[in-house]
Homo-oligomer: A and B are copies of this chain.
Amino acid sequence: MKPAIPANTVERLSLYRRLLEAWLEKGTTSLYSHQIASMACVTPAQVRRDLMAIGYTGSPSKGYSVDALEESIGLFLGSDRVRKIALVGMGNLGRALTTYFTSRVPRFRMAAAFDTDPRKTGRVIAGCMVYGIEEIPRIIPAEGIRTAVLALPADSAQEMADRLVNAGIKGILNYAPVPLRLPADVFLENRDVTASLEKVAFFSGQPREGS
């Protein structure tokens, strides 16, 4: 994976876009890079660089047109259309994520969930149909889903990831706390909550119990 666009830039663009939406509703027509930067808590130069990456150009006198920029970012990210996502593991985390996206982020739609628990399969949970994992090779291509979220126990994560990739998945957001070995053309993002918290706790100073 040698992305023409840095992954960090994509993440920030997503944030800019969300911030711009709020200004759009307020009726603001244009913003300067330092205003966007201030809201996003980054430097103005960073904002200009990121916008340069998607080829959007502002004017030195007026700054950036809010609605045109919002549309440009949307177009670039492909978030002008609803994106279908697959979820594997409809447990506590999976349900929370599904509820969240369904109610708050209509741009992403949990189009199918997969689970091994027979009490969950065949039902609609949090607005999302839960299938047995044997349905992966049928549903994923049929729905044309290319992106999946893994929220299942660590010991089955690798196997399910393999099955997803075989079914055509090209990007995985992994919440299971285990490194995954995947083909190079599949984009993988690990969100290891324990490691994140460990990092924050580490930099919080010396927070031992019983101190």
Query: Which residues of the partner chain B approach A99 to less than 8 Å between Cβ atoms?
Result: 92
Query: Which residues of the partner chain B approach A200 to less than 8 Å between Cβ atoms?
Result: 147, 171-173, 187, 189
CB of A205, distance to nearest CB on chain B (Å): 5
* Shortest Cβ distance from A8 into B: residue: B199
Establish whether residues B81 and A202, one from each chain, have CB atoms under 8 Å apart when the complex forms. no
Secondary structure of the A side of the interface? Answer: mixed
* A10 to B81 alpha-carbon distance, docked (Å): 38
* A48 to B177 alpha-carbon distance, docked (Å): 22
Within 8 A of B (CB), among A1-30: 1, 3, 7, 10-12, 14-15, 18
Establish whether residues B187 and A109, one from each chain, have CB atoms under 8 Å apart when the complex forms. no
Of the residues B101, B144, B173, contact of A207 by C-beta under 8 Å: B144
CB of A170, distance to nearest CB on chain B (Å): 4
Query: Which residues of the partner chain B approach A205 to less than 8 Å between Cβ atoms?
Result: 146, 170-171
* A14 to B105 alpha-carbon distance, docked (Å): 32
Of the residues B96, B177, B196, contact of A96 by C-beta under 8 Å: B96
Name the residue in A12, A170, A207 with the highest tally of chain B Cβ atoms < 10 Å from its Cβ.
A207
* Shortest Cβ distance from A11 into B: residue: B195
Establish whether residues B11 and A199, one from each chain, have CB atoms under 8 Å apart when the complex forms. yes
Establish whether residues B100 and A92, one from each chain, have CB atoms under 8 Å apart when the complex forms. yes
| A141 CB-CB contact with B under 8 Å | no
Contacts A197-B149, A204-B187, A207-B146: A92 and B96 contacting too (C-beta < 8 A)? Answer: yes
Within 8 A of B (CB), among A174-211: 177, 179-181, 187, 189, 191-211
| A88 CB-CB contact with B under 8 Å | no
